[in-house]
Structure 1
Amino acid sequence: MAVWLVLLCSLPGCDYARMKEQEALQTYKTALPEMPAGTIPVGGGIETLKKSDPKSLRNPLPFSEETTNKGRESYAVYCIMCHGPKADGNGTVGQSFHPLPTALRDPKVQAMTDGEIFYNLSFGIKRQPPMAYTVSAQDLWAIVHYIRFLGSSSGS
């Protein structure tokens, strides 16, 4: 009986209607602004690239000293820790891998088309991480030119 008396006395102190009007509960009713048409792409992009034939991809950047230097800079940021300063697979991080990362001067790498190298850089191969999600396509194409430069006699 005492429990019922306590319960009846405490009911007037609860104001459930006011609790529903708390700011914490009302934030989800905020209307979002309209999104302009064409904001989210529905075609093309990385998924189209992933489905393409790597041999059909063509490097849009001209092979020049400027693009090779840009590739060297990008290589120093994204690749050198595994492939090493001599591109021989003996980078600081790469030394802990077995097998070692690919030597980029290797004739097998140099025999690949630009598109194949770009595709492997973009989506990864074996231990090579996919870089298309973090590195711009322009930087990846410049790295392809730098890899070509490494394979030439002047790249030594």
Structure 2
Amino acid sequence: MFSGMRTGMICAAMIGAQLLISGCDYARMRNDEAVDRYEMEFPSMPQDILPQSGEEYPLITDPEKTKNPLAENRVVLASGRRAYEYYCKHCHGESGEGKGTVGQSFAPLPTDLRSSYVQEQGDGQIFERIGKGYRRHPPMAYTLSSREQWAVVAYIRSMKKRE
């Protein structure tokens, strides 16, 4: 007798709880306080918060024949070396041999930049592979300016001479 009564009370409590919960309609936003359209001005964005270089990526129609527009001098090589050491040496190694600390985990190893395979390519080909990426190599056009990419090309060319 008590078990039937107990079951009835549990059912009544559950039905009551269900009715109470169903009366709560907080999921709808129509009753919430809201800002009407055009009620307030959108905060203006501070100037110079986003970088805007305005530089366009150069279109290279014949990469094999395209020459580096930068003259190979100490300033260009220093700029290329700085960019290479910051972005490239971790995979390609200090001297470009393809045995950098990060590159050791890749199979196959990164390309030896001193090799004839790389050194015999046109400046435009190397530039495009730096900028657009190639196989496992990430595209660097969003990271390096065109001038920095050409400086890296000049620095890669100088690796063969230093070997």
TM-score, structure 1 as length reference: 0.69
Structure 2 distance, partners of 1:55, 1:64, is 22
Q: Does 1:55 align with 2:64?
A: yes
Runs of 4+ residues over 4 Å off in structure 1: 16-19, 27-33
Question: What SS does structure 1 have at the residue aligned with 2:104?
Answer: helix
Superposition RMSD in Å: 2.9
Structure 1 distance, partners of 2:85, 2:126, is 17
Q: Does 1:118 align with 2:127?
A: yes
Question: What SS does structure 1 have at the residue aligned with 2:98?
Answer: coil
Closer, same or farther: CA 18–81 of 1 in aligned 2, 3 Å: closer
Question: Identity percentage over the alignment?
Answer: 39
Shift in Å, 1:135:
1.1
Shift in Å, 1:133:
1.4
Residue 130 of structure 1: aligned partner: 139
- 1:73-120 per-residue CA deviation (whole Å, 9 max, x = no partner) reads 110011010001121111111000000000000011000111110011
Q: Which runs of 5+ in 1 are unaligned?
A: 1-15, 34-38
Shift in Å, 1:31:
7.7
Shift in Å, 1:54:
1.7
Q: Does 1:89 align with 2:106?
A: no
User: Which structure has the greater CA radius of gyration?
Assistant: 2
- After the TM superposition, which of the residue ranges 141-150 and 63-72 deviates more from structure 2? 63-72
Structure 2 distance, partners of 1:53, 1:80, is 28
Shift in Å, 1:127:
0.7
Closer, same or farther: CA 26–125 of 1 in aligned 2, 3 Å: same
Q: Which runs of 5+ in 2 are unaligned?
A: 1-29, 45-51
Structure 1 distance, partners of 2:32, 2:84, is 61
Q: Does 1:65 align with 2:50?
A: no
The alignment covers a number of residue pairs equal to 126
Structure 1 distance, partners of 2:41, 2:73, is 53
Residue 12 of structure 1: aligned partner: none
- 1:55-81 per-residue CA deviation (whole Å, 9 max, x = no partner) reads 243322111122111111110011010
TM-score, structure 2 as length reference: 0.66
Q: Does 1:151 align with 2:160?
A: yes
